[in-house]
Amino acid sequence: MFAQLDESTDVASCSQLLMFTRYIKDDVKEEYLFCKSLPTTTRGEDVFQTLKEFIEENGLDWLKLVDICTDGTPSMMGIRSGFQALVKQVAPQVFGYHCLIHRYALAVKTLPPDLLNTSSDSKNC
């Protein structure tokens, strides 16, 4: 199972954790797995605890998790208390990646205006 997580704050200032998954069952499937509110803060420990509760409640196996894709914030990527570090403590086989969507968004912020216009025009094709 491959997992992609994204934490964001909605218009009511509530932090939401969304998880999408990709897995193989006869063929490759992609599904929205859950959206849960984070009760207090958005630290790596909070995100990990929310995922851990979901996995335990649904009888999922940490050993079937192959990789986790998150944004590049310290709470997700931190080597000691970041979300990915906490996942590696219970599932050392898991690879951690930085989300390609976020990389694209970061790259677009630094593009020169003429190249940005070209990039924007290509989306309308």
- What is the pLDDT, as a whole number, of residue 33? 87
Contact (CB, 8 A) for 20 and 87: no
What are the tens digits of pLDDT across the range 33-91?
A: 888 888 777 788 888 999 999 999 999 999 999 988 887 666 676 667 788 889 999 99
Measured CA to CA, the distance from residue 39 to residue 72 in angstroms comes to 22
What are the tens digits of pLDDT across the range 91-122?
A: 999 988 776 555 555 555 666 666 655 545 44
What is the residue extent of each domain of the chain? 2-99
- Tell me the CATH number for domain 2-99: 3.30.420.10
Measured CA to CA, the distance from residue 72 to residue 35 in angstroms comes to 20
Q: Tokens representing 21?
A: 């998954």
